[in-house]
A and B are shown apart, each in its own frame.
Chain A
Amino acid sequence: MLELLNFGFEFVEIFAFIVLATVGLAVIFGMMGIINLAHGEFILVGAYATTFTFDAGLPLPLAMLAGVVLTAVYGLVLERLIIRHLYGRLLDSMVVTWGISLVMIQLTRIVFGNTAPGIGIPYGQLPVVDGPIYYLVLAVVAVGVLGGLYALFTWTDFGIRARATMQDETTARSMGVDTDRMYMTTFAVGSGLAGLAGALYAPVMTVTPEYGTGFLIETFVAVVVGGASVLVGTVLASGLLGTVNAAVTNVAGTFMGQVAMLIAAIVAIRLMPEGITGMLADWRESRGESQ
């Protein structure tokens, strides 16, 4: 029974981590076709903003909110100055965002030094399972973020316009959608979500200039395994990778859990080159044709 609880806790922890780390990148990639190689450094901005505002005396939730807002604003400025010139230029956008990430890491080191003030993990330990209560909070936030994004993209006018822009930009423009503004807003939302991941994990991970790289493997693997559909892809990829990682970690430790997750990702990409949601779309199409 305890083993099952441990596995469950491990899964919840990894699932939340992958979801929170991935969702900002997935929104920007899925909606705009931009592979943001500086995603880890957007997470870094959220973490630093949270750490320093908390250190300055803000309560932790407000410090985290500051991290989210500052990262969103940072993303907005970067989109207006640089990213908007790179739409439809996939390779160029990768090279430029990679350059941005290198500059940000070095700038962070120059300005703030090699470490940032620490934030202790809040809320204490769980009674039965060996782990902090805060990880359950992270899981709740992850589910809340997914639910919020689902509501945003399904029920709001913004969501309808965003999906219209994502599917066919030219038609969206002819339907009166200001696609330029949609891209700008979407990039800011994606950046804010990256900032949220940085803020939420600032109490858990040591904040250094390389903080963002700690998120990158899970993030990019999850986006590729998930496929084109932003939300469903993120959920399914996080579920698959989280299950494999948690199961193996429980038996053979964290390192082997990571190895198993990457092997699972390689197998998944080999079997489903378009990702899980691409395979599901093909399956639905073939089922429709056969009926």
Chain B
Amino acid sequence: MATSDPTVKTAPAVDETGPDSSRILQTRGLRKAFGGLTATDDVDFALEAGELRCLIGPNGAGKSTFLDLLTGRLEPTAGKIYYDGADITGLPSHERVDRGISMKFQVPSVYEGLTVAGNLRIPLQRVVEPDAFDARTREILERFDLLAERETVAGELSHGQQQRLEIGMAMAMEPNLLLLDEPVAGLSVEETADIADLLREIADDDGVAVIVIEHDIDFVETIADRVTVLDGGSIFREGSIEEIRTDPEVKRIYLGEDR
């Protein structure tokens, strides 16, 4: 368990020994600075295959920056990212996707001018032959409860349907690692419960490792195998939801009692 004091910043030390092959994802000394601001600082992170990990932390803790480093949207200032035993630190986003890393953004990023089926065609063309499009599209739409909306323009879907479609698009690429930034933001209680079931199913049945950034602790409690708390760009705590919930230091930084 990483227990670095958020008030103490040390220079990142990159471990040169290479990745642990039992982990689907590892970062070593990962750091991202924007000028004088260090958004991600010396993060050593590891994830097992099929594990569902939630990242929590106060605003500005560096959660989204960390995810952006994993997807390749941002380049790290220092450190390494290993995926499935290989160093992917310098790979562009599309090559990470090719290797099995899928991402769903905080704001639904579906193609609003295309139909639901049209949206699915973009990721599906990477993984299935054209004559299998229809069957695979149907399977995904059934699973994500969007079959009736197959020919609906995505811009006309509800917020919850767009969130499901985007997760469906990410899963259409048959990933081994799924990264989700606040997948239930703005959803109703019922929709949130549906997404929670879906995510557990993706981790348990499909064996996909999942990282979820989330603020809603009740949702985190429902889905997470383990929880990582980020603060000030560094890993502050890591453990089961019970350990995190009862940790007075987590409460202190999360509720801002030290500020």
Our pick among A168, A176, A178 for the contact of B111 (Cβ within 8 Å) is: A168
A173 at the B interface (CB under 8 A): yes
Say whether B103 faces chain A, with CB atoms less than 8 Å apart: yes
Contact at B121–A175, with CB atoms within 8 Å?
A: no
Docked pose: A128 CA to B110 CA in angstroms: 55
Q: A161-B122, A174-B71 are in contact. Are A168 and B94 (CB under 8 A)?
A: no
Q: Is B177 an interface residue (CB 8 A)?
A: no
The CA-CA distance from A243 to B26 in the complex, in Å, is 64
- Give A179's nearest chain B residue, CB to CB: B94
In Å, the complex CA distance between A220 and B105 comes to 37
Residue of A with least CB distance to B125: A157
Q: Are A174 and B93 in contact (CB under 8 A)?
A: yes
Question: Which residues does chain B contribute within 8 Å of A175, judged by CB atoms?
Answer: 97, 122-123, 126, 169, 173
**From B169, which residue of chain A is reached at the shortest CB distance?**
A175
Rounded to whole angstroms, the CA-CA distance of A177 and B123 in the bound complex is 9
Q: How far is the CB of A202 from chain B (nearest CB, A)?
A: 38
Our pick among A161, A170, A180 for the contact of B105 (Cβ within 8 Å) is A170
Whether A164 contacts B73 in the complex (CB less than 8 A), given A171-B111, A174-B97, A175-B169, comes out as no
Question: With A173-B93, A176-B94 as given contacts, are A164 and B122 in contact (CB-CB < 8 Å)?
Answer: yes
Give the chain B neighbours of A106 by CB distance below 8 A: none
Q: How far is the CA of A18 from the CA of B169 in the complex (A)?
A: 39
**How does the 8 Å CB contact mask read for B85-104 relative to A, with 1 for contact and 0 for none?**
00000001110011000111
Q: Are A180 and B92 also in contact (CB < 8 A) when A164-B111, A167-B113 are?
A: yes
CA distance A51 to B102 in the complex (A): 50
Q: Tell me the minimal C-beta distance from B77 to chain A in angstroms.
A: 21
B188, CB-defined interface residue at 8 Å: no
**Is B22 at the interface (CB under 8 A from chain A)?**
no
Q: Are B109 and A174 in contact (CB under 8 A)?
A: yes
Please indicate the chain B residues that have their CB under 8 angstroms from the CB of A157 in the complex: 125
B102 close to A174 (CB less than 8 A):
yes
A176–B105 touching, CB < 8 Å: no
List chain A residues, Cβ under 8 A from B123.
175-176
What is the size, in residues, of chain B's interface with A at 8 Å between Cβ atoms?
Answer: 26
Distance in angstroms between the alpha carbons of A170 and B93 in the assembled complex: 10
- Chain A interface residue count, CB cutoff 8 Å, equals 19
Does residue A160 face the partner (Cβ distance < 8 Å to B)? yes
- For chain A, what secondary structure do more than half of its interface residues adopt (helix, strand, loop), or is it mixed? helix
Q: How far is the CA of A176 from the CA of B100 in the complex (A)?
A: 10
A172 contacts partner chain B, Cβ-Cβ < 8 Å: yes
A168 to chain B, nearest CB (A): 6
A190 to B241, CA, bound (A): 55
Cα of A176 to Cα of B103 in the assembled complex, Å: 10
Write the B69-84 contact mask toward A (1 if CB under 8 angstroms, else 0): 0010100000000000
Chain B residue numbers with a CB within 8 Å of A164 are: 111, 122
A174 & B122 in contact (Cβ 8 Å cutoff): no
| B97 contact set on A, CB distance < 8 A | 173-176
Partner of B122 from the list A170, A172, A180 (CB cut-off 8 Å) is: A172
The residue that B173 contacts in the complex, of A173, A176, A180, with Cβ under 8 A, is A176
Contacts of B113 in A (CB 8 A): 167
The interface residues of chain A lying within 8 Å CB-to-CB of B170 are 174
Residue numbers in A under 8 Å from B156 (CB-CB): 288
Q: Find out whether the CB atom of B109 lies under 8 angstroms from the CB atom of A178.
A: no
B98 to A176, Cβ gap below 8 A?
yes
From residue B83, how far is it (CB to closest CB) to chain A in Å? 15
Complex CA gap A178/B97 in Å reads 10
Residues of chain B contacted by A173 (CB below 8 angstroms): 73, 92-94, 97
Q: Which of A157, A168, A172, A175 has the most CB of B within 10 A?
A: A175
Q: Are A177 and B71 in contact (CB under 8 A)?
A: no
CB neighbors of B among A222-270 (8 A): none
Contacts of B104 in A (CB 8 A): 174
Given contacts A174-B102, A174-B103, A176-B98, contact A160 B125 (CB under 8 A): yes
Bound Cα distance from A8 to B111, whole angstroms: 41
In the complex formed, the residue of A with least CB distance to B113 is A167
- With both beta carbons as reference points, the residue of chain B lying nearest to A172 in the complex is identified as B122
In the assembly, what is the distance between CA of A163 and CA of B115, in Å? 13
CA distance A174 to B109 in the complex (A): 10
* 9 nearest A-B residue pairs (beta carbon): A176-B97, A171-B109, A173-B93, A178-B94, A174-B103, A175-B123, A164-B122, A157-B125, A175-B122
* Known A174-B104, A176-B123; further 10 A-B contacts with Cβ < 8 A: A160-B121, A160-B122, A167-B111, A171-B110, A173-B92, A174-B97, A174-B109, A176-B94, A176-B173, A180-B92
